[in-house]
Homo-oligomer: A and B are copies of this chain.
């Protein structure tokens, strides 16, 4: 089959007579419409770089275009697909566009897509083993496969009495592990002491930690976002953790849970797992590692050191739906002590009683997660691992890292810009730099020049932030690329996160060209003359 032509939708005969319910899953019709949809999506990928990456619609655009109520009568798939093309596609921000460099990517692949099709087609609800043994068993098997690829200690694998489970999101993984740790702790110190429990992360930790903490009933006053500074490249310092814990203990509180991050959202900083565990374990805390984005990279030997110290933690999660080609949603969580999860999350109503469960020979994943229902998510992970093989998967990840290096190199060659933190993985944090490049070769920085005068440096930072904010807005409004920002150590930085399956080196070169072009305009508007001898933008504002 070739591209999909929708110019002449077939007449819909269903309006005249009521449909049979079984026709809603009639294999012949399923085949016809399924093939049509494959072509529609293949066409979408073929044309994806023609769309503005960031959707350019205004709030409320869709309500103006759609009817006020659901139709009484059926509409043909051809009409619906035309509407998708005309009304939905313009409202998409194209996460699979090769020029999507925002947030972290959520990449998909043919294998991930096919796995999702199978899972949707079977549509089994694998809450316990008996409800679909293959769904449970395949999940346990691929989680062991993946755990081995990450060289996780055996204690995280089923063979070592730990085990892995696929959740929908990191927040869910943290909610579950935190609830488990909370209940373990309360059984030691008494159930009425929930108000004393304290949760720790850094101010670089993903907001999922605070949200999870809030959900499981930790007093909001007992949530600690410890400052991580540029001096540690925004990693959480074990010494700071120690101080925070001591202070809480003195106040009569009980340290409960630490979330360490490998690859923070703002800058891909890596918290030092070993030293942090030494501190936390001294106080009997549960340590979770959130490697949502960067975990995938750790299947490459050269990146594995980023999770050194993992043997000391209680749980570890990463999102295969970010940078492992599965598509949403696929958060892989390993725990050393599944019993703690099960003890907090199990519910055994009579209607689910069955012999395999009673025999205790099987895993019932409903007790490892929030929901009872669960999709057959292992399927897509299995297909990704098999369709590409470990060798190619490693190379895919390396190729993203290589492209990030390329972008980093391009930024470094332009003296108007600064790489803000060392690049660890496939993301580059940069900004228009706050210094005056007095000549091409010798930029002078605020730490060594006259800006260090009282108050002026603050103004320089503020104006620099404004310029970068404007620059990012202009880039994104162009529709040619989409990047997002972070603010670290008071600096507004632009993040270029590489990770989409379709991205090639030419897209990196183009992205940099877009950045430069918009920088030219913005700096020219703010500088004196805009010639080769650059001057600090907005300097006149400061004076």
Contact = CB atoms under 8 A, between A and B. Distances in A.
Given A34-B113, A388-B24, A370 B134 contact: no
Contact of A71 (B220, B345, B349, B390): B390
A interface SS class: helix
Given A37-B114, A96-B122, A118-B37, A21 B351 contact: no
Contact of A138 (B46, B88, B487): B88
What is the interface residue range for chain A against chain B?
35 or more
B329 A375 contact: yes
A327 B122 CA distance: 9
Given A62-B141, A118-B37, A93 B194 contact: no
A396 to B, nearest CB: 4
Interface string A494-506: 0100000111100
A261 to B, nearest CB: 13
Nearest to A484: B351
A480 interface: no
A507 to B, nearest CB: 10
Interface string A108-124: 11111110111011111
A55 to B, nearest CB: 5
Contacts of A391: 18, 72-73
A145 B66 CA distance: 11
Nearest to A140: B63
22 contacts: A1-B31, A22-B502, A26-B110, A30-B41, A30-B42, A34-B42, A34-B110, A35-B38, A55-B134, A59-B359, A69-B149, A70-B149, A72-B390, A80-B387, A84-B118, A106-B125, A108-B120, A108-B123, A117-B120, A123-B328, A191-B195, A329-B371
A421 to B, nearest CB: 14
6 closest Cβ contacts across the A-B interface?
A217-B217, A91-B134, A169-B371, A34-B38, A207-B347, A41-B121
A74 B392 contact: yes
B19 A388 contact: yes
Contact of A141 (B66, B130, B347, B374): B66
Interface string A332-360: 00000000000011011111110010010
A487 B350 contact: yes
Contacts of A96: 25, 122-123
Interface stretch (A208-216, A238-246, A274-282): A208-216
A95 B124 CA distance: 5
Interface stretch (A171-179, A300-308, A435-443): A171-179
A373 interface: yes
Given A26-B110, A71-B389, A93-B131, 9 more contacts: A22-B501, A37-B114, A61-B137, A69-B149, A89-B134, A107-B123, A169-B370, A215-B216, A350-B486
Given A146-B70, A148-B69, A182 B118 contact: no
Which of A42, A44, A138 has most B Cβ within 10 Å? Answer: A42
A254 interface: no
A188 B339 CA distance: 36
A373 B106 contact: yes
Contacts of A431: none
A9 interface: no
Contacts of A169: 370-373
B356 A59 contact: yes
Contacts of A93: 124, 130-133
Nearest to A399: B21
Interface string A69-100: 11111110100100010011111111110000
Interface in A162-205: 168-172, 175, 179, 182-183, 191-192, 194-195
Contacts of A70: 142, 145-146, 148-149, 385-386, 389-390
Which of A70, A93, A124 has most B Cβ within 10 Å? Answer: A70
A207 B77 CA distance: 39
Interface string A375-395: 100010001011111111001
A24 B123 contact: no
A219 interface: yes
A345 B344 CA distance: 21
A100 B193 CA distance: 47
A125 B207 contact: no
